[in-house]
Structure 1
Amino acid sequence: MNTLKNANKSTPSMVYQAGYLEGYRYGGCQAILERIPPQIFGKKNIRVLYIPQGFDAIDQGVSEALQQLASECIIATPDKMLETAIRSRPDVVLVMNGLHVFPADHPDHISKIRQLGIKTAVWFADDPYFTDDTVELSAAYDVVFTHEQDCISFYKEVGCSQVYYLPLAISPAMFAPIRTTREQQFDICFIGSAFWNRVELFDQLAPFLLDKRVIIAGGHWDRLKHYDQLSRFIRSGWVPVPETVAYYNGSRIVINLHRPTTAGSDNRNGKGISGSSINPRTYEISACGTLQITDVRSDLLRHYRPGYDIETFHGASDLRSKIDYYLQHEEERRAIAWRSLWTTRQYHTFAHRVNELLEIVS
């Protein structure tokens, strides 16, 4: 982090101004939250065994919602899934994603659980990027949920009889407005792995970013052609959720660019399934009450309104223009950011999603 501090030095007057603006921002966020009516969902008479995927931003939100909405929520690790199901005999086993940290033979475990008369469901959260793998996994489950609209027909075509679109969301306990320090405050923030479309974008933005306060966080950013110019802005490696939340809160603008869907070194999507649904980062940024400028996916309009509670861009030139505009129009920037917070907390929490999921599997 020392390199970031050195790259973004501030004068005393700048620190004072930043402190004032931060207090105003945070106070506005709290006023928004106080006006959101409480979300009330009825508890379902269903016992759920939840198997997390090992990614806190999703796992915590789902487990919180299950504990709130199910009559009982049991949580087990992937390797203990079968023995826990035999012992606890839940009504349904819900597996999150089923990739990355799951044992290779877990479809066999699911089959044995189904033989016990227990319903099984999987919620795919990485579609369409790993569909070469999920196509085989999906057949093991009674019910398939996917956050990617374009994968619905894919799973039905390979024989899954119950397939549902279920977007991702946020945990209000994790992604929320917080106070930030000057070291966490930036003009522009991007957090994510350096997929090649992102590398191309930031190489094009490089000259524009040099006189701004910037953080680019994540892995593989040494792919940049202009790495030498931008390296002072880069925080390499995995960014834990609390640190991510601090950067989102402290940044005037957060850029979101979805990863490419084409098959290759970063994806296992041999069918070339397109992606129309928004990533979890869309909700997470908005839940922190900051202005998000995102590339456009067709499903975005189902959840947010460009120019009202989110902003969009088409290419590097458009993004430069919009960053320039909103850095100079503070009131408009804050208004969109506050509306994004309202929309997300009102409609896009994991309680909303899990309530819908339990209605389907009950």
Structure 2
Amino acid sequence: MTDKSGEHRPEMSRSLAAGVRRRALVGVPGGLAALPILGAMPTPGFAQGAGSATGRTDGAVRVGGRRRLGTLEVSSIGLGVQNMSRTYQTTIPSRPEMINIIRTAFERGVTFFDAAEAYGPHEVERILGEGAAPFRNQVVIASKFGWNIDLQSGERRPGLNSRPEHIRAAVEGMLRRLRTDRIDLLYQHRVDPQVPIEDVAGVVKDLRAEGKVLHWGLCEMGPNTLRRAHAEMPVSAVQNEYSMLWRGPEEVVIPLCEELGIGFVPWSPLGVGFLTGSIDAQTSFADGDIREAETRFSRENLPNNLALVALLKRWGERKQATPGQVALAWLLAQKPWIVPIPGTTQMPHMVENIGAAALTLTEAEVAELNRSVTEIQIRGARLPDAVLAFSNVEAPPKGGR
């Protein structure tokens, strides 16, 4: 059975859990933590990445290994907290449970947590700040500026705002909400077409000199803007949508990151839940769910695109893993400096996601899986046109250069 909410996922592989359904694990003490670790020894596809998924003998699933985003070291899989104030289905999660998930993720080896002022707006940073407070100095916290968010009320206004004075004030608000004295990784959430990237880099450079920002990055930017930004101050990470469902960054952005020595952080690495098998041909979305407006999930395109889910299920049976774990392991195998940040509001899903770091793929398996994924032509756009308009934007030249 498929849960139409998009949050629950299909049953585990029979060879892994002998008919235990994912839904039965939600809310059960131990849940997926009681299941065996997946995979064997690391392979070349996990260079600098996965390692063992355990560091203890109690059987609890842990994320294994570390990766580098530029010079910044993080766990090989992070945790995106975007939906912890409101899910795709527009429900409000339990705040104590969100804090519990953040703290359990840390206990199981996650050291990379991703937020933004626009998530909530503001509320997700407050949740992460409270959740990470006991171990703040042992983790990497990322947040983002760039949307036109009122600094006091959190009201989201039209357009973008990366004016230097706004960035500085936005960071001060982040520090308060996150209960910290510095942002480990500060991204420009979208490129402001009215502000030269050199001006943005300049204020971030000043904030770094003050110790309030340690590393910086860009999201969904145009490639020339990335080059200019990196020339002003080395960029540690780029964050773009990237998964088996959307492979656009492979054309320009990922090769550019490799050239410049920049890490890559895929957002929506599970295709907004699609790659977990939680969406089928009969799925309908709640009003306000962004997936309702994405044509890749329309009645016309969804049946075609489900071929990708079928592929993941076959590989899940083959590797004794869930479809979502195969999708995350595939990302990890593409480059040793790719760090996915799957988000969830369900404890068993978080545990399942970090277990993907132990799922090893040989070079031959990666090549085979890549061929199969390439053969499936995804139909429909990844985002509504009004949202896509903010991606791949180039910043204006500095001083007419």
Same fold by TM-score, threshold 0.5 exceeded? no
Larger radius of gyration: 1
TM-score normalised per structure 2 = 0.33
Which structure has greater helix proportion? Answer: 1
With CA pairs under 8 Å and 6+ residues apart, which has the higher RCO, 1 or 2?
2
